[in-house]
Amino acid sequence: MTNLAQNLLDSAAERESRPALRMDDAVLTYGEFRDAALRVAAALQGRGVRPGDRVGLVLPNVLAFPVVLYGALLAGAAVVPMNPLLKAREVQYYLEDSGARVVVTLGSTAEPVREAAGTVGVEAVVVGPASPSELMADEPLAEPVERSDEDLAVILYTSGTTGQPKGAELTHANLGRNAVTTADTLAENTPDDVIMGCLPLFHVFGLTCGLNTAVLRGSLLTLIPRFDGGKALEVIERDRVTIFEGVPTMFAAMLHQPDADRHDVSSLRLCVSGGSAMPVEIMRSFEERFGCIILEGYGLSETSPVASFNHPHAARKPGSIGTPIRGVEMRLVDDEGEDVGPGEVGEIAIRGENVMTGYWQRDEETAKAIPDGWFRTGDLARKDDDGYFFIVDRKKEMIIRGGYNVYPREIEEALYEHPAVAEVAVIGISHPDLGEEVAAAVALKPGAGAEVEELREFVKSRVAAYKYPRHLWLVDTLPKGPTGKILRRSVEVPQEVGTR
């Protein structure tokens, strides 16, 4: 395999006048997308960017993002995507750690990026949302820079739940092959498909399953800069979206829109969920209301991201992350790296063409994460007799109450069955005798009502006595990460309840 950006050149050669990217009224055809990316590549080279150099990218889901990303790849650079909500000190860390040579941003996020770039001593280029004309040379790059399978394409910084964020090194082969497998076996997309780009493109789920897969197959990617459930339903109807990809909170937001039934979403043929576990009740309600099947999968930044899936032509098991995809192996191991017994909970370990080469300039962390060729995910799961994996929880988020293991997801699933509940986060708080006590923050659906005691009794009747949340409180909304994933670690505990 050569440069990942070759996919853009191939699709543009086959369907030059077909729309490739859309953001409301702004549309780029594949020919325009290619030409703009080649001019960006030439401009980057003119700024001294050489093969292997890093280019920072601080953009939301606007047309400029794919153009600059593919332009940087065509120039042979590796891209460092960043959340546009980052503050100056955070951008500074990414720029310093990655050794980026230049950083590209939007006018609305320019101030912290310029500040960070000035501190580090690199150039910050501010571009427009519909076209990065400020970073486009008069003449396009003549030929894409050749890259090998092992060459670095993207550095994706993980969320850094412990210590500073680490940069996962993903190669052209990692991303290219994961996109091919997604297109071939999961999305089965064609040039006639319209893929919904709600997922942040700076996150690996949106990057691979949305952008790279669309470019590979010559599909249309329609973008929403900032996710909103009502806006998503409007765009599905307007653009006749056929493939919707999102995290569970996005499905819940669309499901709970007061006017959801007024939108024609009959064009949808496939919905893909990932990023965090899909509550079974949300899945069932969404499918009933919108008449569309949701396929749940699993992956991480370090695995490009897709590792397993409920495959389209196999039995689908709600609540399961399915089976490993082509080119990937998964097993469950104990703390010593030995396989656990049938039906037992173990940590998911992954080996295959999707696994990163390591963490950028962190040999010790890499050796810890991939001690024997198998990447340790930190996620706990069970495997059934059919080989389907079921996530139990994050290893670090498991609650140990009086010596008993309590998995937050199980308690959240029980609470999601209550008709008034929209979102839940179950966490552990300190307890002088038990070590940890189970607690739950709950957000209700718009217009719905439920008492705390009612909710507590509801879940108490569904789980073992040691598992139900002794502490439960209502919130307007729950903290979420850049993809919309609920962040348990950021849930604020009321003073009267206790401490984490």
Identify the DSSP state of 297.
E
- The string of pLDDT tens digits covering residues 111-146 is 999 999 999 999 999 999 999 999 999 999 999 999
Q: Which of 264, 274, 215, 205 minimizes the C-alpha distance to 236?
A: 264
Categorise residue 435: left if φ over 0, alpha if ψ from -120 to 50, beta otherwise: left
Q: What angle do CA 231, 235, 236 make, to 5 degrees?
A: 115
Which residue segments constitute the domains of the chain, with CATH numbers given?
5-226 (3.40.50.12780), 293-394 (2.30.38.10), 399-497 (3.30.300.30)
d(C-alpha 469, C-alpha 379), whole Å: 22
pLDDT greater than 60 at residue 478: yes
pLDDT band at 276 (very low <50, low <70, confident <90, very high): confident
Residue-level length of the chain:
500
pLDDT band at 499 (very low <50, low <70, confident <90, very high): confident
Which amino acid, 57? L
pLDDT greater than 60 at residue 408: yes
d(C-alpha 356, C-alpha 372), whole Å: 14
Average pLDDT over residues 151-157: 97
Structure tokens at 130: 């519909």
pLDDT band at 158 (very low <50, low <70, confident <90, very high): confident
- Percent of residues, the chain, with pLDDT higher than 70: 99
Average pLDDT over residues 20-27: 97
Strand partners, 428: 438
Q: Which residue has the tokens 């008069």?
A: 138
Residue 104 CB neighbour total at 10 angstroms: 28
- The string of pLDDT tens digits covering residues 286-329 is 999 999 999 999 999 999 999 999 999 999 998 899 999 999 99
List of residues 6+ apart from 184 with CB closer than 8 A: 326
Report the pLDDT value the prediction gives residue 372, as an integer from 0 to 100. Answer: 95
Report the pLDDT value the prediction gives residue 161, as an integer from 0 to 100. Answer: 47
Report the pLDDT value the prediction gives residue 163, as an integer from 0 to 100. Answer: 62
Report the pLDDT value the prediction gives residue 474, as an integer from 0 to 100. Answer: 97
- The string of pLDDT tens digits covering residues 205-240 is 999 999 999 999 999 999 999 999 999 999 999 999
d(C-alpha 85, C-alpha 107), whole Å: 13
Structure tokens at 109: 């996020």
d(C-alpha 156, C-alpha 162), whole Å: 16
Spatial contact of 270 and 281, defined as CB atoms under 8 Å apart: no
- The string of pLDDT tens digits covering residues 92-106 is 999 999 999 999 999
Residue 410 CB neighbour total at 10 angstroms: 15
- The string of pLDDT tens digits covering residues 341-360 is 999 999 999 999 999 999 99
**Biggest alpha carbon–alpha carbon distance for the chain:** 71
pLDDT band at 160 (very low <50, low <70, confident <90, very high): low
